[in-house]
Chain A
Amino acid sequence: MKILNTTGAIALFATSLLLTSCGNDNAQSKVDASTIKVTGTMEAELTSPPFVPAPVGDRDAKKLIVNMEILEEEGTMADGVTYVYWTFGGTVPGSFIRTRVGDEVEFTLSNHPENKLPHNIDLHAVTGPGGGAASSFVAPGHSKTFSFKTLNPGLYVYHCATAPVGMHIANGMYGLILVEPKGGLPKVDKEYYIMQGDFYTKGENGEPGLQTFDMKKAVDEDADYVVFNGKVGALTGDNAITANVGETVRLYVGNGGPNLTSSFHVIGEIFDNVHVEGGDLINKNVQTTSIPAGGAAIVEFKVDVPGTFIIVDHAIFRAFNKGALGMLKVKGSEKANLYSGVIQEGIYNPEGSTLQSMPGEEVVETKTQNKTLAESIASGKLIYTNTCFACHQANGEGIASAFPPLAESDYLNADLERSINIVLHGKTGKITVNGKKYNSVMTKQTLTNEEVADVLTYVYNSWGNNKTHVKVSDVINANSGH
């Protein structure tokens, strides 16, 4: 950072002139931030994720008081899985700190007396040895104060840097500090704070109970959980972030690591602007942006159509199998000219050259034959693997807060006709399965009646369900009763 300041500033300024020759006021680049005078003192507003403090707007640089407390405490990693998190401010990621360039930040780090370990903080926004780590090293039951001046605008990671650093970060000790330029970032309608992290637990993903940190897996970079905001489901269902059609959304996205680089993507959106690596460079029309461990990015987009937009690490097994999945729910009226929804369904037959219209049920009925239970299960298993597996998972366990389980499912076993209709027609909205609430979308499946019967037979005869043998006639009856 220091090198950038002294030798790179001119080059950087020249580059930014070239890139933004039309408009954006980059005049502050010329100002030596170290000479910015501060006027007055204020206490910083700190927020828990996914929220961020109010923008700095056009306020002057100030002396900014930041008080942060370190807490070691047990929290929930996933349903039934707990973990002892080490946190800045009681959350993972830690509290969001919002400053403007030229602020003099007086930072007090307090280590709760019941904590076991010493900690410190290395803020990437600090120009100084260790990013403040050496000055903030604090034993349990004590506090340390140091101060720094914010010289470079951007979005920066902070983290604990006490040995063993990897373990402190792996247990959740990271967060973001934003340094806004003079005059603040352009105004948007909604702002949120999201941070990815990878976790390494003694038990495999989903193994219930209190899980301890597994050092060997961490060294091998073999993550059990990859999540947004510290736990599976922190941004899904009722915790989803929200916006209204037509609004502009800005996400401050960080990656605490400790190991994995994020391929950050919002399904069904294109980022209008990405502040690459949290710095001055702005890229436009980006599908997926790479966020390194210990790095950040600011992404901005306008939400044009309503719906649920899934936020993922597009290293996609992390999203569907390890937890890196969030939701942005956008409310408002449909915009058919931008996104139509399904207009027409057909059957694709490569032997003919055109799409055909959906056949009536009598066509299916001609194929009806009474399979044995074993045949139905065998065929149903194949259909399940092709069609259902991605969401409901290999053993019907589903994904916490996103996709309900089919294994030992009270909802499934209670009502066969309802189950058949969900496969035939899809399901949207709130349901409760095994005591947990889900609010998600399942699309209607393009399966024949026989396939529906087989796949449901497979599901009902697996994973502790009630062993119903679903017949084609059940499917037809359920459908006509619908």
Chain B
Amino acid sequence: MKTTIRLACIALFALSFQAASQSNMVFIKGGSYTPLYGRDSMQVAIEDFYMDTYPVTNEAYVAFIQAYPEWKRSRVIKLFADGNYLRKWATDKTLGTEQSATAAITGISWFAANAYCECQGKRLPSIDEWEYVAMANESLPDARFTENYNAYILSWYEKPHTSNNDVGSTFKNYWGVYDLHGLVWEWTSDFNSVLISGESRKDVDNDANLFCGKAAIGANDLMNYAAFMRYAIRSSLKARYTMNNLGFRCVKNAND
């Protein structure tokens, strides 16, 4: 798979696309954090990396389609995107009249998002990288225990139709990254590896879906409803799925 997509990236317009659509990135200083599903003893180390300041926009994706026509709605391989891929677009190459050019691209599959990032010499963030940056609010790198942090995220879950808002319309966080909360969901490279069982708990069965009782077994912060819901949405996805509220952004290793 990886080879195929990498090959696909050496397309005719590849270089011009890369030059045109390099979005701003900010440096994320690595560290360690305790994920939702872990215990204090299960700190996860995060290397330094760069993250896109904004989610990938509709207009950037239009440029991508021009460079890589195999990702056009009419040509995309069905294995790589479900029937709702770019459903709101007017044509193969143009956005729907209701869609803002500077809103986040949604309605794309994991395969499409992954290809986009790779074609820019970037990659999708891992869950841990995404969560590490997303636990910040405006002023703190880890704001998960402040009351407003969770309230803000939860209120977004209850707000209909935010996916057509422009990127940058939510807050700029501690790292200088916008829109991690309050705009759209975002793909991660390993979205479907939500493992509530770790090696320290092999007796817990491996069914990764966060149902009823199981949701409570592995979690270290029962009040963190907001994070539960992110893990829930991730575990409901398959790589070819697309959603009106699901976009992505890319990251790059610091030492590349």
Chain A residues packing against B (C-beta within 8 Å): 72-74, 84, 113-118, 120, 122, 130, 133-134, 137-142, 161-165, 167, 171, 212-213, 215, 219
User: A72 contacts which chain B residues (CB < 8 A)?
Assistant: 158, 160
User: How near does chain B come to A201, taking the closest CB pair, in angstroms?
Assistant: 11
User: How near does chain A come to B110, taking the closest CB pair, in angstroms?
Assistant: 12
- Tally A-B pairs: CB < 8 A: 89
Instruction: Give complex CA distance A345, B185 in Å.
Output: 68
Chain B residues packing against A (C-beta within 8 Å): 82, 84, 150-151, 154-155, 157-161, 185, 207, 209-212, 215, 223, 225, 228-229, 231-233, 235-237, 241-245
Which B residue sits closest to A139, measured CB to CB? B236
User: A133 contacts which chain B residues (CB < 8 A)?
Assistant: 211-212
Instruction: Give complex CA distance A142, B242 in Å.
Output: 9
Instruction: Give complex CA distance A115, B157 in Å.
Output: 9
Given A122-B212, A140-B243, check contact A113 B84 (CB 8 Å): yes
User: B223 contacts which chain A residues (CB < 8 A)?
Assistant: 215, 219
User: A162 contacts which chain B residues (CB < 8 A)?
Assistant: 210-211, 232, 236
B211 pairs with A117, CB closer than 8 A: no
Looking at the complex, which one of B84, B211, B229 makes contact with A141 (CB distance below 8 Å)? Answer: B84
B160 pairs with A84, CB closer than 8 A: yes
Looking at the complex, which one of A84, A130, A139 makes contact with B243 (CB distance below 8 Å)? Answer: A139
Q: List 26 A-B contacts (CB under 8 A).
A: A72-B158, A74-B160, A114-B244, A114-B245, A116-B160, A117-B233, A118-B233, A118-B235, A118-B236, A134-B209, A137-B211, A139-B236, A139-B241, A140-B243, A141-B242, A141-B243, A141-B244, A142-B241, A161-B211, A161-B212, A162-B236, A163-B228, A164-B228, A212-B155, A215-B150, A219-B223
Can you list the 4 inter-chain pairs with the closest CB atoms, starting with the nearest?
Answer: A118-B236, A163-B215, A163-B210, A139-B236
User: B241 contacts which chain A residues (CB < 8 A)?
Assistant: 139, 141-142
User: A117 contacts which chain B residues (CB < 8 A)?
Assistant: 157, 229, 232-233
A120 pairs with B211, CB closer than 8 A: yes
Instruction: Give complex CA distance A162, B231 in Å.
Output: 10
Instruction: Give complex CA distance A124, B19 in Å.
Output: 57
Which B residue sits closest to A84, measured CB to CB? B158
User: How near does chain A come to B11, taking the closest CB pair, in angstroms?
Assistant: 29
Given A162-B232, A163-B228, check contact A113 B211 (CB 8 Å): no
A165 pairs with B243, CB closer than 8 A: no
Instruction: Give complex CA distance A215, B155 in Å.
Output: 11
